[in-house]
Amino acid sequence: MSHPYRMIPELAELQAGGPLVRIPMQQDVPFTPRVRAIVDTAEFQRLRTITQLGLASRVYPGAVHTRFEHALGVFHNAIRYLWQLGKDERFAASVSVHQAEIVLVAALLHDLGHWPFCHPIEDMELPHLPPHEEFAGEFLSSRRELGQVLLHDWQIDPAEVLDVLVPQTDSPAIRLMRSILSGPIDIDKLDYLERDSLHAGVPYGRNFDRNRLIQSLLVNEAGDGLAISTKGKTAAELMVFARYVMFSEVYWHHAVRSATCMFARGFFEVHTQFDLKELFQQDEFEFIQRLRIAARQTPAEPLLEGIFGRKRRLYKRVIEFSLHDQPDLYRHFAGRPYADLVLLTERLRGVVSRHYGIPVGPADLLFDGPPVHKEVQFAVEIYHPKSKRYVPFDEISPVVATLARQQFDDFVKRVRVFAAPEIAAHLSDTEQFLACLSEVSAGEG
């Protein structure tokens, strides 16, 4: 049987070896004229100026790769996914050639709405803050250059792409399309685990068999999402473990979180001075400079200068604990709105000053509480060809049951308190500091 998507130029070029662009690690991404037309737009070129991991580079110097590079990698994964899924009769019957092309464009543009340091800012859940997916609508307007390219070069209405990125309609087919971009085994995770690991200089995100996983892809029992066959079981288990370790050792590394908390508190102090819709359209350099100028002569200045100034000055970790270590305190401080954490920090400042007999400035202590939203859990089916049965993966895999069915965030994302270096030097007594936290917690009761 001929492949249903064989006439899509990008899939044809993947097999034929046509024009390409090369990205790490040795990925040859098909670069047809209509792909080039998207990449050359001002809206897409903006992603060259936005780093993928933001403040992680303060700890991992090589982690300065951009969302531009990541978007090309995700697009490459989309081509490979569609080539494999096109062999599944149920997928081909559900997703037309036109819809498959929409998936390709959505993959290329999935981070279009990201602004500099997008995730730390979104985690704060400030009032009137648009999610970055909705912000993508600004760039997908048919009046913009990018929208015109989609209409004329791809014969795709920009609204069709936006519907995949920010759900407006619902059907089994559109849910299936979205699951390729956002789900337990999506093309985004497949790229960022490997790319972030590569640029951070760690092995954790690269130790699973991507080819085997892609070769096992098929449609789930309901026909509205992805599943894997039994031959992809080990690769999927290793992907789950890779994600767990990358969060533990890179994304939520204590020094990365220190820099992230410093940024978050600095941004919180100055954000009301800006038209955020306008600010978020700046490149990363301009974004940083405008924050630094706004922070001058305010409590935010030492925070932002400590991460963006000429001298690196990260706050020190005073204490950290997970749900397992301090269940009552963890439940009290985790998942709080950011404005609550700022109030709690102010209370803690007074308690610490009294307990330790030292002056504590308004931005000398920072709470790091896991954000309100949770990570996507690894809820995926595994298909047994011999019995023709779909089984929830966590029912047959101890790895998935342990690392994905249990609450991922409760163990990876710890509650931490950071302090300015000169203050942290006085706070080495863990029991005394726990007593301070308990007093703050009790004071809310």
Q: What is the DSSP string of 386-441?
A: TTTEEEEGGGT-HHHIIIIIS-HHHHHS-EEEEE-HHHHTT---HHHHHHHHHHHH
Whose tokens are 């001929």? That residue is 2
Of 74-83, 407-416, 423-432, minimum mean pLDDT range = 407-416
What separation in angstroms does the CA of 162 have from each of 141, 242, 255?
10, 30, 36
Question: Between 266 and 397, whose confidence is greater?
Answer: 266
What distance in Å separates the CA atoms of residue 216 and residue 229, rounded to the nearest whole number? 5
CB 29 within 8 A of CB 21: yes
Model confidence pLDDT, tens digit, residues 256-296 = 999 999 999 999 999 999 999 899 989 999 999 999 999 99
Mean pLDDT of 9-27: 87
DSSP state of 217: E
Residue 294: closest CA among 265, 269, 275, 276: 269
Outline where DSSP puts E strands in 239-332: 316-321
Instruction: Give the number of other Cβ atoms within 10 Å of residue 26's Cβ.
Output: 6
Residue 367, H or E segment: strand 365-368
Question: Between 138 and 237, whose confidence is greater?
Answer: 237
Mean pLDDT of 427-433: 94
What separation in angstroms does the CA of 83 have from each of 206, 313, 411, 413?
22, 48, 37, 36
The rounded percent of the chain whose pLDDT value lies above 70 is 98
Residue 295: closest CA among 262, 263, 266: 266
Beta-bridge mates of residue 219: 226
Residue 406 pLDDT level (bands cut at 50, 70, 90): low
Answer yes or no: is pLDDT of 203 > 80.
Answer: yes
Largest CA distance in the chain: 79
Query: What's the predicted TM-score (pTM) here?
Result: 0.94
What distance in Å separates the CA atoms of residue 53 and residue 63, rounded to the nearest whole number? 7
CB 165 within 8 A of CB 133: yes
Length of the chain: 445
pLDDT of 89 reads 95
Sequence ranges of the domains in the chain: 9-252+380-404, 263-314, 315-371+413-445
Classified by CATH at the fold level, domain 9-252+380-404 comes out as: Hypothetical protein af1432 (1.10.3210)
